[in-house]
Structures are given as structure tokens and as C-alpha cells.
């Protein structure tokens, strides 16, 4: 349920309410919106407890949350969340956040070369898998521990924030200094132990939609992170499995619209994994902006034909720069900046 706090309630009144919620055995999650403060109340409720809360000073209304996800839904927070990443970079506001880089960190030289052109083309965040979840155990699994100092050096040199995938609970600590955003891959979207641990970190988490997960499944996975106290969750649509064979996955553009309606969390679209083809990426990126996405995750490589992973879907430096330029007009038409 959610307690709507009376407009203009004193801070002390809000604190008293939060304490009362805790004293009754619930977990309070205060959400301070522009116009209203609400307190999401998580835990099994009884009529008696509800009545005790209803009479508390400062309570305007108590309403049940009907959806299976609570904290990440619009029922507790009607305006979109703008999530801080690093410095003054945020996601979920006016700016479309461009995250770009190789599928995998392959070495220092490879990463610095890509990072430099991503930055000069106007990219905001560098991506790169240090640990790679691969369908086959025989495929390249990423540089793993060896890749961390390389990514740290590239971050220091370019000043770009870095997003990288955490595949296992045991790697959260290991990646803490290098990851400005922890990415949870599609294959791990319902790894609930991992989600729970990521709910305790002081970093944003980008959660990629599982290839057979519904929008509601994705939102419930996001709830696992939020309920532990980390409200910096970013959702990512990266294509789902369908019968279609002309693309690697099928970009579910309507999911972007649905996620934005049902949740206040920012939504990123990954047209690279959705399509599997470099030539499709620009058109899908523009469609994502039109659908209301708050950011894009784009794979790019200096020499895609030599990439250890996902070369066919990686944009060359010139294709990436062209996309950045072309997106300007689309962003403007959507009332956004880039
Ligand atoms: C990736 O971003 O490189 C990746 C592995 O994506 P996904 O989890 O969406 O397959
Ligand atoms: Mn990839």
C-alpha cells in the first residue's frame, strides 16, 4: 500500500509516519516527488494495522498497490525518475544518454581507441564486457580480472563513466571501482540472488530484459533491486525471442511504451542485440527515441570484422559518429536533447 502524505506536512510529521510504519513491522520506502511525498509500505497488512496508520497525523489517504511490483511502479511515483550516474550525468531527464563501446573488453589498446572516438562523437557512457556470459562454454568468456585495470586506465584517461556486466554475485565487489553502472544481462534477469545483492550497492543497475520475459517479469525483477534500498534501476529492452529469423532477436518497441507507462524508471534500448545487424541499428535507435526511450546502448568497434564478440552488430567509428549526428534531429523532434 502507499500512504499519500498531506501536502505541506512538516518533516517531523513525515518522520513520525515512517517510524510508525516500521514499528508496525513494515518496511517504509519514502518517495519524495515534486508535488507529493508518499510512503510505500511493504509487508503483509492487516485491517488493524491499516486503521492505526489511517489515524496518524499527516496521512491524506492510504491506497493499496494493485500491481505485483510496488516501488518501481507509477502507482507510488507518478513522475519519471531521473537517476544520477556520475557527476552531472543523469538518465531519465531530457537528455538521451548514449552508452557505447565494444561488446567485450579485448585489451587496453582496443578499449582506449574505441573510448576516444565514442567520447569525441558525443557518447556519454562507455560500455564493455569484462565478464561475458556466453551461450557456449567454449566461447571467449571475457578477459575477466585481467580486464579490470585496463578499463580503469581508460576511464581515468577519458573521464567516461563505464557500464559493465556483473555475471555473478561474487564479482560485485571485484567490479565495484570500475563499474559506474552494473549491467545485469538478459540471461541473468531473474537471478534473484544477484538482484538482491545489487539492491545493496551504491551504484545504478541496468537490468536487461530476459529474452522470454514479459514486461511484468522485468518490472518484478527491478523490484528485487529496489526493495533492498537501491532505487537507481534502469530498464533495458534488448529484443525478445520470437519465430523471426531475419534478426537475432525481435526489438519489442511497444515494451518501451509499456515500461514508460507502468514504471517511473528510465528505459534504455539496445538495438545491437535486438537486431544482430549493424545496418539495422541506426533505424532502430531512431525508433527507440520516438517510442520514448531515455537512452541507447550501442555496440561499436574499431574493426568489427576482428571483434572477438558481436562484430556483425557493431558499428564502425564512422557509422557511430553518423548515428550521433543523425539522432540530433530525432531527439529534438521527440522533445529531447542528446
Ligand atoms: C551485452 O550487452 O553484451 C549482452 C551480453 O547483452 P544481453 O545480456 O542483452 O544478451
Ligand atoms: Mn554483445
In tens, the pLDDT along 277-296 reads 999 999 999 999 999 999 99
- Lookup: cell for 228: 533492498
Which ligand sits closest to the CA of 165? 1
Closest CA to 186 of 258, 238, 260, 248: 238
Q: Is residue 70 part of a domain?
A: no
Q: What is the CATH classification number for the domain harbouring 219?
A: 3.20.20.70
How confident is the model over 23-74, as pLDDT tens digits? 999 999 999 887 889 999 999 889 999 999 999 999 999 999 999 999 999 9
Instruction: Say yes or no: 165 and 134 in one domain.
Output: yes
CATH number of the domain residue 44 falls in? 3.30.70.1140
The answer to whether residues 258 and 319 belong to one domain is yes
C-alpha grid cell, residue 325:
549526428
User: 126: which residues sit within 8 A by CB, 6+ positions away?
Assistant: 99, 100, 101, 111, 114, 115, 118, 119, 154, 155, 158, 160, 161, 162, 163
Query: Are 100 and 25 part of one and the same domain?
Result: no
Structural domain range at position 44: 2-63
Distance 132 CA to ligand 2 centre (A): 9
Residue closest via CA to ligand 1's atom 8 equals: 185
- CA–centroid distance, 123 to ligand 1, in Å, is 19
Task: Name the domain count of the chain.
Answer: 2
Q: Considering the entire predicted model, what is its pTM?
A: 0.96
pLDDT tens digits for 302-336? 999 999 999 999 999 999 999 999 999 999 999 99
On whether both 99 and 40 belong to a single domain, the answer is no
24 plus 134 within the same structural domain: no
User: Which residue lies with its CA nearest to atom 9 of ligand 1?
Assistant: 186
148 within domain boundaries? yes
Q: What are phi and psi of 50, to 5 degrees?
A: -60, -45
CA distance 96 to 110: 26
Ligand 1 pocket mutation, candidates 130, 240, 273, criterion most atoms within 8 A of CB: 273
- CA 236 to ligand 1: nearest atom: 9
Pocket of ligand 1 (CB under 6 A): 103, 129, 133, 185-187, 208, 238, 273
Residue 120 lies in a domain: yes
- In angstroms, the CA 312 to CA 243 distance is 21
Joined together, the cell numbers standing for residue 160 give 567516461
Q: Please tell me the distance between residue 166's alpha carbon and the centre of ligand 2 in angstroms.
A: 14
CA–CA separation, 83 and 95 (whole Å): 12
Amino acid at each position: 500500500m502507499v500512504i499519500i502524505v498531506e501536502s505541506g506536512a512538516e518533516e517531523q510529521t513525515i518522520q513520525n509516519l515512517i517510524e510508525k510504519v516500521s514499528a508496525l513491522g513494515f518496511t517504509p520506502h519514502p518517495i519524495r516527488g515534486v508535488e507529493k511525498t508518499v510512503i510505500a509500505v511493504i509487508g503483509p497488512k492487516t485491517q488493524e494495522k491499516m486503521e492505526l496508520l489511517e489515524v496518524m497525523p499527516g496521512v491524506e489517504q492510504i491506497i493499496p498497490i494493485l500491481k505485483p511490483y510496488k516501488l518501481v511502479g507509477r502507482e507510488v511515483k507518478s513522475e519519471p525518475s531521473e537517476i544520477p550516474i556520475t557527476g552531472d550525468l543523469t538518465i531519465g531527464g531530457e537528455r538521451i544518454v548514449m552508452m557505447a563501446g565494444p561488446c567485450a573488453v579485448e585489451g587496453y589498446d582496443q578499449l582506449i581507441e574505441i573510448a576516444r572516438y565514442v567520447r569525441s562523437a558525443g557518447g556519454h557512457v562507455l560500455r564493455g564486457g569484462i565478464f561475458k556470459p556466453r551461450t557456449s562454454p567454449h566461447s571467449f568468456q571475457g578477459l575477466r580480472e585481467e580486464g579490470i585495470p585496463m578499463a580503469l586506465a581508460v576511464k581515468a584517461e577519458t573521464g567516461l563513466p563505464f557500464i559493465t556486466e556483473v555475471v555473478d554475485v561474487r564479482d560485485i565487489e571485484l567490479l565495484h571501482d570500475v563499474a559506474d553502472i552494473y549491467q545485469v544481462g538478459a540471461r541473468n534477469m531473474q537471478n534473484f540472488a544477484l538482484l538482491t545483492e545489487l539492491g545493496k550497492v551504491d551504484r545504478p543497475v541496468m537490468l536487461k530484459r530476459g529474452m522470454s520475459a514479459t514486461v511484468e517479469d522485468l518490472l518484478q525483477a527491478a523490484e528485487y533491486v529496489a526493495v533492498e534500498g537501491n532505487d537507481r534501476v534502469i530498464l533495458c529492452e534488448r529484443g525478445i525471442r520470437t519465430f523471426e529469423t531475419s534478426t537475432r532477436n525481435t526489438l519489442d518497441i511497444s515494451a518501451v511504451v509499456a515500461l514508460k507507462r507502468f514504471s517511473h524508471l528510465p528505459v534504455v534500448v539496445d538495438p545491437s542485440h535486438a537486431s544482430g545487424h549493424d545496418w539495422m541499428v541506426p533505424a532502430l535507435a531512431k525508433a527507440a527515441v520516438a517510442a520514448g526511450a531515455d537512452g541507447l546502448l550501442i555496440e561499436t568497434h574499431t574493426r568489427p570484422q576482428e571483434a572477438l564478440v558481436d562484430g556483425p552488430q557493431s558499428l564502425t567509428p564512422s557509422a557511430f559518429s553518423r548515428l550521433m549526428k543523425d539522432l540530433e534531429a530525432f531527439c529534438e523532434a521527440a522533445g529531447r536533447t542528446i
